[in-house]
Chain A
Amino acid sequence: MKRAILNSIFSNWLLLCSLLISGCSSPEEKSTAKIYLIEISQMKFNPAVLTVQKGDTVLFINHDFVIHNITEKSAAKWSSPQLANGKSWRMVVTQTADYYCTIHQVMNGRIQVH
């Protein structure tokens, strides 16, 4: 019980610190690259179209029990390894790209750089 209360106080303290830090950050710090999630589920990329800033990171995670990959569509400029269920892969976005799964060629997505 005592341990739970101490943990709760510590968590709240951490949250307060992070809020104070973010509240005091400069405009430059606010433009820090973000991480976006694209979930692969029921044979679809979700969201299918994602708009990000150049330098942001996109994290793909496969929830299907069949294997998928993520490959740039025009000339396979980049490609993930084969992702089994529960596996993830991340990439830093440098330009707009259409992508697909080469195993299931009708599965398509797009990352758009704003």
Chain B
Amino acid sequence: MKSIILKSATVLIASALLATDAFAQPSQKLSDPEIASVAVVANQTDIEYAMIAKKKTNNAEVIKFAETMAKDHQSVIDQAVALVTKLGVTPKDNAVSKSLQAGGIKTKKLLNSKTGAAFDKAYIDNEVAYHKAVISTVENVLIKDASNKELKELLLSVVPILKTHLEHAEMVQKMIAGK
């Protein structure tokens, strides 16, 4: 049963990364070291998308958005690393973080295959879907499963940042569509 739920959570995250399916809420209980790993991988993945965008786009709004993603997600990683160091927790790989990494590889391949306006659209569409998926995972899985109070508080403080990113991505998405 446990593995079925975990597998479905993994598939759902991977689906959302590819900007296709709606994101349902898994109920697999993750440990704090596993949550730390998911948090770091999720943020690192979006930094990597931003790095590709900064290399490939000429669109000023897309560049600004990508710069914000790189800065903010690095700040979240810094906070997470400081906390796990303080708590003496070592992030532990798990099916969800592995799935995020696998989804990230596929998405980066897709982004690298595109140029010009097609790239801008693919990048921003993915950012919208990715942030929706991550917000849902943080709110419905990571916060609920976190045992440590400080870890839970850090996750709670990340939600408004992710929601602002989503709103920003949707704004850029509309600008691109209007061109």
> How far is B79's CA from A106's CA once the two chains are assembled, in angstroms?
23
Contact with B along A43-59 (1 / 0, CB 8 A): 11000000000000000
**What are 26 A-B contacts defined by CB distance under 8 Å?**
A42-B157, A42-B160, A43-B160, A43-B161, A43-B163, A43-B164, A44-B160, A64-B161, A65-B79, A65-B157, A66-B71, A66-B72, A66-B75, A66-B161, A67-B71, A67-B75, A102-B64, A103-B71, A104-B164, A104-B168, A105-B64, A105-B168, A105-B171, A106-B167, A106-B171, A107-B164
Q: Say whether B68 faces chain A, with CB atoms less than 8 Å apart.
A: yes
> How far is B163's CA from A43's CA once the two chains are assembled, in angstroms?
9
B residues near A, CB below 8 A?
A: 64, 68, 71-72, 75-76, 79, 157, 160-161, 163-164, 167-168, 171
Question: Are the C-beta atoms of B171 and A65 separated by less than 8 Å?
Answer: no
Known: A43-B160, A106-B168. A65 touches B75 (CB 8 A): yes
Residues of B within 8 A of A42 (CB): 157, 160
> How far is B168's CA from A107's CA once the two chains are assembled, in angstroms?
9
A residues near B, CB below 8 A?
A: 42-44, 64-67, 102-107
The closest CB in chain B to the CB of A82 belongs to B71
> How far is B76's CA from A67's CA once the two chains are assembled, in angstroms?
11
Residues of A within 8 A of B157 (CB): 42, 65
> How far is B64's CA from A102's CA once the two chains are assembled, in angstroms?
9
Question: Are the C-beta atoms of A106 and B75 separated by less than 8 Å?
Answer: no
What is the CB-to-nearest-CB distance from B95 to chain A, in angstroms, rounded to a whole number? Answer: 29
What is the CB-to-nearest-CB distance from B15 to chain A, in angstroms, rounded to a whole number? Answer: 26
What is the CB-to-nearest-CB distance from B86 to chain A, in angstroms, rounded to a whole number? Answer: 15
Residues of A within 8 A of B161 (CB): 43, 64, 66
Residues of B within 8 A of A64 (CB): 161
The 3 closest A-B pairs by CB, nearest first: A42-B160, A43-B160, A43-B164
The closest CB in chain B to the CB of A42 belongs to B160
The closest CB in chain B to the CB of A85 belongs to B75
Residues of B within 8 A of A44 (CB): 160
